[in-house]
Structure 1
Amino acid sequence: MLVSGASLVAPLLVGRAIDTGIAPRRADVLVYAVAGLVAVALARGLFTFLQGYLAERASQGVAYDLRDALFGQMERLSFSYYDRVQTGQLVQRLTNDVEQIRSFAGSGVVQLANAVVMLVGSAALLFYLDWQLALVALAVVPLIALLLVRFVGLIRPLFGQVQQTLGRLNTVLQEDLSGVRVIRAFAREDYETARYKAVNDELLDKNLQTVRVFSNNFPFVFLLANVGTLAIVWFGGWQVINGGLSIGELVAFNTLLGFMLFPILTIGFLSASISRAGASATRVFEILDAPLEVTDKPDASPLPPVECRVKFDNVSFRYPGSEREVLDGVSFEIEPGSTVAILGTTGSGKSTLVNLLPRFYDVTGGAVRLDGNDVRDVTLSSLRSQIGMVLQEARLFSGSVRDNVAFGKPDATDEEVRAAAEAAQADGFIRGLSDGYDTVIGERGVGLSGGQRQRIAIARALLVDPRLLILDDSTSAVDAETEAAIQETLDGLMREKHRTVFVIAQRVSTVRDADLILVLDEGRIGAMGTHEELRRDSELYNEILGSQLVEEAVTTGSDG
């Protein structure tokens, strides 16, 4: 407001200097007018500095809040959301889209407010100086406004398409960086280069479309602005000649007309930023407004320490947007301290079944109960704090080995960390690393073998001392000897701690001694019992036993 006010005062001072100082040759009036102009310039400079600083500070605050809100939301979003959205799109929204909003929230908002104030203020002063001349000058404004409205209508959807295409480009880049070994192994470099180039070409085309929209509209805006100036010079010149207007007032009027047309052009240019920021804001709020499908009920209560009696009561489940039941009418009950092995054909729902226990997904029918408590009726934190998971893909984080083992219990002592590593048969190789437990490993555990990563993941799960332990084919990347040692330790820990364990495995040794084996077939329980019972009674179990499970005697893999 102050910057705009200082700018609007300047033309009036110039007009007064011409009419009362220069024309009558009065030096004293000219000195006062020049001193006034200097004071206005100094004030405008100070206000402009403060405006720029405060606007940038505010925009950085907006970006900070948005990044925090987005990341916090991403931490809470349900797994079903990530099943539908590409990771590259999420990264795009957290980086580029936030930056587009930040840019507009700082300089863009200030320029827009400044343009509106200048537009209203200069128009008021034009009518104050000469209302007839003001009407002539303002005749071009509606035409310019129509062009700008048309421009915004064309440019906004294009910016949304640009952001969408840029997200796809980031997705391709991320996939290729994470899968570079697979690409090289199958000699697919040329294919991936062509795939990236195709999306890049599409991005170039979208950007060129936005350039064409600019080129097809703004020359006409400038033309109309110049027509307004010509009208002022012509009509205003006649008024000066006829004595209806002074030269100083004409100069001030022409300057104020520029002050009025410049904000219109500024709003036109800003409309592109508004459209870009609007498209980015839409994408950002798609995440912020995304429903959390797995949340605590308003009346959810903490889950007390459990004995871990697990019951699946006629459980059905389908993924959001799918019509196929992944699990259909699954029912069984497990006593505390039992070891349950889960087998099944590909796509039979093994991983889905164990994912329902910690409520990574909610059932679409029936109920999952722990000690009689429906898992949907207790708080997520109290439920998951009593469950330990070792997934098939051992995901580690950049940092020290100790930090990765203590990920679920950051306040664990060194003795507790080492005890968990020993239980997972990991202590030996960890001590052999360059800095032992303080060795820094790369992103996703780069620098460690698959078996080493899995043993650290097992140690991480054991450290939290879970009442319910879920092992999703967690020994698939270790050799038979190491697996046997891990399994022996796990068996001891299961019996000693009276844990309930669910195991998804691909080896006979993992299931032979299980208290109960569940055989899944197309989302249903095809057979259930002990190893000996199923060998005797289940044809499906024997087929899986012969085709999928690996006997230790023929295992030749190495822990590497």
Structure 2
Amino acid sequence: MIKLFRFLKPYRFTIAGILILILLQSLSELYLPTLMADIVDKGVVQNDIGYIWQIGGWMLLVAAAGVCVSVAASYWSAKVSSGFGKLLRSKVFSHVERFSLQEFDKFGSASLITRTTNDITQVQQVTMMMLRMVVMALMMCIGGIIMAVSKDAELSLVIVAVMPVLALAIYVIMSRSIPLFKAMQVKIDKLNLVLREGLAGIRVIRAFNRIEYEKKRFERANGDLTETAVRVNQIMATMMPVMMLVLNFSSIAIVWFGGLRIDSGHMQVGDLMAFIQYAMQIMFSLLMMSMMFVMIPRASASAVRIHDVLETAPVIEDAPQTEEANGVRGLIEFENVTFRYPGAEQPAVSDISFRVKPGEVTAIIGGTGSGKSTLLHLIPRFYDVDAGQIRIDGVDVRQLSQQDLRSKIGFVPQKAVLFTGTVADNIRFGKDDATDEEVRHAADVAQATEFITRMGEGFDSDISQGGTNVSGGQKQRLSIARALVRKPEIYLFDDSFSALDLKTDAKLRAALRSETRESAMLIVAQRVSTVMDADRIIVLEDGAIAGIGRHQELLETCSVYQEIVSSQLTEEEIA
């Protein structure tokens, strides 16, 4: 957790001010018992009413000053801890945004959400408590010991005898609770994962009547977390009774031996009263610190998880220097490309070589798992190749900055993703400064204008989270419009026409031809009707190229393509 405190650097002067305020508060509280002892020994015993009023008034001023500095310290502590949490969340989020898909696969989205929310909240709360409780408890404990010794050094031996007992109790409780706190964070991850899957997949769950199964799955994860939380809280619940028991026995011992000291004339009544208060301050300081030990183990586990994210360097980084591109815009070249997913036994694609020129439409077709989508994901560097090269405009994509590379690309993913906002907002996701005319033109080409105008407020109609208020085909057309509005050099369509009927598919491809005549277009598709008019068709089988050519050429030369065509088209359509 100490490693995360480097993010408190912007607040170092504020923290110094907080420490000064807490010091003043501690001094005021340590001074009050001495004033009370003076009232008893010099005012009450000697029946000096004026002295009682004088010292009593001074006590009120000291108490009022202590309240003021306490409020100020609490305010600034809360402000610093909140700012620290905000800064930490921003750092984690911006760092995660740089992750490649490999890092996302490693951590999992559910865990990353938990680390950015729950874990940072734990650290933020402990930071505030450390600024207030730990620092004050430490000052009060040290100050209380000094003041108690100044009142009566021999009676202070009672406190010395109590300290090891408290330390042993705290150690036993913490040694049992820390592993459980660490386990709790992992189980929160699991619960978050089950909950997200259950909510995101609610349609599939209902369609297959798996509601009861998902309920039991959630109950298992929830019950596992609850069981661990109950166990750790049972352990922590013993702390307060143990502390209070030690505190009460300490008070009895102080009064007992203090009475003997008064009887022997070595101590006055007021000093004993002050000594009891200092002893209580010391004990309560230790109690406050022990309560912090309840929070610190869990926060430490959270801090380790946050630190793991921040210390994970993305596998895909920008090169120190980028080369200058040649005059060709939109040229894609694959040269002996091989790629294997992390942990996979076999490469997803092997020794792939082809070119896509500007103004050409290249289609990729093949069976499930043949590597079609993988090829597309390698172009914008969602993953990096293991061998070979992918060049854009003559430059290896690894020599281009990720921002420059992706600014050349209009990507339509296999699973259409929409964001909360309006229809226009979702289309402008491809180009922030797109005019209304550009947005409408992109929608026209994507064959989306018709259904948009039927929506309540047209382009200003709201899209719900995940686009649940539009159909699958409508999502795909909006995703295509989002790519079109940025007018990129390269279009990548990852099976982006699968939810469209054949008529809309044909109209869309015809519109795309005229719209993208100066750009390279790479289409992954399952339907032969979608790819048969392409300038070049690449047939993949088991991650390797089984054939390249036009539709008629492949019908004559590629057995894999012949099988795909015969499974989708009748003999009359093939002829």
Q: TM (normalized to structure 1)?
A: 0.94
Cα separation, 2, equivalents of 1:200 and 1:527: 52
> Which runs of no fewer than 5 residues in structure 1 stay unpaired?
555-560
Distance 1:39 1:553, change over 3 A: farther
Once the two structures are superposed, residues 487-530 of structure 1 have per-residue CA deviations (whole angstroms, 9 ceiling, x without a partner) of: 111122233x2x11111111112221222222222222222222
For the Cα contact (< 8 Å) 2:326–2:393, is it kept in 1?
no
Q: Which amino acid aligns with 1:519?
A: V
Cα separation, 2, equivalents of 1:3 and 1:322: 61
Report how far residue 305 of structure 1 moved. Answer: 7.2
Cα separation, 2, equivalents of 1:3 and 1:84: 48
Equivalent of 1:402, from 424, 431, 436? 424
Once the two structures are superposed, residues 220-249 of structure 1 have per-residue CA deviations (whole angstroms, 9 ceiling, x without a partner) of: 333333333233222222111111111111
Equivalent of 2:177, from 147, 155, 161? 155
Per the alignment, residue 80 of structure 1 pairs with 102
Per the alignment, residue 360 of structure 2 pairs with 338
Q: Which amino acid aligns with 1:473?
A: D
Equivalent of 1:489, from 499, 506, 511? 511
Once the two structures are superposed, residues 283-339 of structure 1 have per-residue CA deviations (whole angstroms, 9 ceiling, x without a partner) of: 222222221122212223576775222222222222233343212222223333322
The reply on whether 1:544 has 2:561 as its aligned counterpart is: no
The reply on whether 1:10 has 2:10 as its aligned counterpart is: no
The reply on whether 1:122 has 2:144 as its aligned counterpart is: yes
Cα separation, 1, equivalents of 2:30 and 2:336: 76
Once the two structures are superposed, residues 141-178 of structure 1 have per-residue CA deviations (whole angstroms, 9 ceiling, x without a partner) of: 12211322332232222122212212221222221212
For the Cα contact (< 8 Å) 2:194–2:218, is it kept in 1?
yes
The reply on whether 1:522 has 2:542 as its aligned counterpart is: yes
Q: Which amino acid aligns with 1:275?
A: P
For the Cα contact (< 8 Å) 1:21–1:29, is it kept in 2?
yes
Structural mapping, 1:429-468, within 5 Å: 429-468=451-490
The reply on whether 1:350 has 2:372 as its aligned counterpart is: yes
Per the alignment, residue 214 of structure 1 pairs with 236
Q: Which amino acid aligns with 2:274?
A: A
For the Cα contact (< 8 Å) 2:366–2:526, is it kept in 1?
no
Per the alignment, residue 20 of structure 2 pairs with none
Q: Which amino acid aligns with 1:24?
A: Q
Equivalent of 2:529, from 500, 509, 513? 509
Q: Which amino acid aligns with 2:529?
A: S
Distance 1:550 1:408, change over 3 A: farther
Distance 1:172 1:302, change over 3 A: farther
Report how far residue 98 of structure 1 moved. Answer: 2.2
Distance 1:482 1:551, change over 3 A: farther
Q: TM (normalized to structure 2)?
A: 0.92
CA RMSD of aligned residues (A): 2.0
Equivalent of 2:409, from 387, 402, 406? 387
Per the alignment, residue 312 of structure 2 pairs with 290
Distance 1:302 1:64, change over 3 A: farther
Equivalent of 1:535, from 545, 555, 561? 555
Identity of aligned residues (%): 38
Cα separation, 2, equivalents of 1:307 and 1:6: 74
Distance 1:418 1:553, change over 3 A: farther
> What secondary structure, in the 3-state scheme, does the structure 2 residue paired with 1:360 have?
coil
Distance 1:550 1:238, change over 3 A: farther
For the Cα contact (< 8 Å) 2:325–2:394, is it kept in 1?
no
Cα separation, 2, equivalents of 1:201 and 1:305: 63
Aligned residue pairs total 551
Distance 1:115 1:62, change over 3 A: same
Once the two structures are superposed, residues 151-210 of structure 1 have per-residue CA deviations (whole angstroms, 9 ceiling, x without a partner) of: 223222212221221222122222121211111111111111111111111011011111
Q: Which amino acid aligns with 2:539?
A: V
Distance 1:542 1:237, change over 3 A: same
For the Cα contact (< 8 Å) 1:316–1:363, is it kept in 2?
yes
Per the alignment, residue 558 of structure 1 pairs with none
For the Cα contact (< 8 Å) 1:509–1:552, is it kept in 2?
no
Per the alignment, residue 170 of structure 1 pairs with 192
Cα separation, 2, equivalents of 1:138 and 1:165: 41
For the Cα contact (< 8 Å) 1:303–1:383, is it kept in 2?
no
For the Cα contact (< 8 Å) 2:455–2:461, is it kept in 1?
yes
Cα separation, 1, equivalents of 2:570 and 2:132: 71
For the Cα contact (< 8 Å) 2:445–2:508, is it kept in 1?
yes
> What secondary structure, in the 3-state scheme, does the structure 1 residue paired with 2:516 have?
helix
Cα separation, 2, equivalents of 1:367 and 1:227: 77
Report how far residue 7 of structure 1 moved. Answer: 0.6
Per the alignment, residue 194 of structure 1 pairs with 216
